[in-house]
């Protein structure tokens, strides 16, 4: 992340804004334990400096990996590079529509040519072992009712009015909506990154123009673990679903409240 700090210190608004987008884009790869390459960092810096457009960044990455294919790459560096560039592109755009189609489109744009099912609703059930749950899994929505559940959540949120709500009530409602949307886990992979991008765009639509994207740059894994804890309970062991951690994240994201983001504190045994 220090690769872009100089642009934030220099105070040139356009460069600083691009640097923030790239920091968030790269930081979001942490949710899957991915690290972009030095080539991506170098190319991103050229974009920040105005030497090349984001379209040229994407073209160079495609060309680079055609010339330097990574076979059976467990680190998934190509995915990290390409998805980072695509996130930076989407976050730099002003266009947005609050709809299920928009959510599916974001996933398709992020993972096209990376996953065969980019932008497609999964047709199988999934489980994912979570460190924060001692290897247990969140119960994700079943494949049979995915589309209906997904569309219902959007319909309910679209009807909801934030008028008259306190700051805390707004944050709690957003946490409720986004945690339920994530819990559906409508795709086989890439759900958290898609949800994060959709959330940032939706918050802008709601009027939160100064979203603190540094949190996604530095604490995206905490964001994912907070979503996990919001959707997991094991009453027999005294573990209950809690949106507390997600509320803390959103409070800092929107209103710059100070909270400590330590993943170990989200562990069920903490």
Measure Cα distances from 50 to 37, 38, 41, 140, 214 in Å.
20, 19, 14, 43, 22
Q: Which of 60-64, 68-72, 116-120, 133-137 has the lowest mean pLDDT?
A: 68-72
- Domain end, chosen from 93, 127, 154, is at 93
User: How does DSSP assign 127-169, residue by residue?
Assistant: ----GGGTT----PPPGGGHHHHHHHHHHHHHH---TT--HHH
Q: Per-residue pLDDT tens for 200-247?
A: 999 999 999 888 788 999 999 999 999 999 999 999 999 999 999 999
- pLDDT at residue 11 above 90? no
- pLDDT at residue 85 above 90? yes
Global pTM value: 0.95
Give residue 46's domain range: 1-93
pLDDT classification of 1: cutoffs 50, 70, 90: low
- Domain end, chosen from 93, 121, 148, is at 93
Are 110 and 220 contained in the same domain? yes
Are 122 and 256 contained in the same domain? yes
Are 234 and 112 contained in the same domain? yes
Q: What is the CATH number of the domain that holds 179?
A: 1.10.3290.10
- pLDDT at residue 71 above 80? no
Are 122 and 255 contained in the same domain? yes
Are 254 and 182 contained in the same domain? yes
- Domain end, chosen from 93, 108, 141, is at 93
Are 259 and 156 contained in the same domain? yes
Are 86 and 100 contained in the same domain? no
Q: Which of 5-14, 41-50, 104-113, 247-256 has the lowest mean pLDDT?
A: 5-14
pLDDT classification of 49: cutoffs 50, 70, 90: very high
Tell me the percentage of the chain whose pLDDT exceeds 70: 100
Phi and psi angles of residue 115, each rounded to the nearest 5 degrees, phi first? -115, 140
Q: How many CA atoms lie within 13 A of 109 on its CB side?
A: 19
Q: How far apart are the first and last CA of the chain?
A: 29
What pLDDT score does 157 carry?
Answer: 98
Neighbours of 237 (CB within 10 A): 11
Residue 2: enclosing H or E segment and its boundaries? none
Are 186 and 242 contained in the same domain? yes
What pLDDT score does 75 carry?
Answer: 84
Are 85 and 102 contained in the same domain? no
Q: Per-residue pLDDT tens for 131-189?
A: 999 999 999 999 999 999 999 999 999 999 999 999 999 999 999 999 999 999 999 99
- pLDDT at residue 55 above 70? yes
- Total of domains in the chain: 2
Considering the chain, what is the average pLDDT of its residues?
94
Are 101 and 64 contained in the same domain? no
Are 103 and 84 contained in the same domain? no
Are 5 and 126 contained in the same domain? no
Residue 186: enclosing H or E segment and its boundaries? none
Tokens of 189: 């992979």
């Amino acid at each position: 992340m220090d690769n872009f700090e100089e642009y934030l210190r220099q105070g040139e608004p356009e460069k600083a804004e691009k640097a923030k987008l790239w920091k968030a884009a790269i930081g979001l790869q942490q949710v899957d334990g991915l690290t972009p390459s030095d080539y991506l960092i170098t190319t991103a810096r050229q974009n920040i400096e105005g030497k090349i457009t984001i379209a040229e960044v994407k073209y160079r990455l495609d060309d680079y990996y055609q010339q330097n294919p990574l076979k059976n790459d467990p680190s998934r560096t190509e995915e990290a590079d390409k998805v980072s560039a695509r996130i930076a592109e989407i976050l730099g755009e002003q266009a947005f529509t609050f709809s299920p189609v928009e959510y599916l489109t974001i996933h398709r744009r992020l993972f096209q040519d990376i996953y065969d099912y980019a932008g497609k609703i999964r047709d199988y059930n999934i489980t994912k072992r979570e460190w924060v749950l001692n290897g247990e899994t969140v119960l994700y929505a079943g494949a049979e009712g995915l589309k209906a559940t997904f569309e219902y959540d959007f319909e309910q949120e679209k009807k909801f009015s934030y008028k008259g709500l306190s700051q805390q009530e707004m944050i709690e409602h957003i946490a409720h909506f986004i945690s339920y949307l994530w819990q559906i886990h409508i795709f086989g992979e890439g759900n958290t990154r898609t949800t994060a991008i959709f959330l940032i765009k939706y918050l802008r639509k709601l009027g939160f123009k100064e979203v603190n994207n540094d949190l996604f740059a530095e604490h995206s894994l905490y964001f994912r673990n907070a979503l996990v804890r919001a959707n997991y309970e094991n009453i027999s062991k005294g573990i209950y679903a809690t949106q507390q951690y997600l509320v803390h994240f959103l409070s800092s994201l929107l209103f710059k409240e100070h909270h400590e983001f330590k993943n170990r504190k989200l562990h069920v045994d903490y």
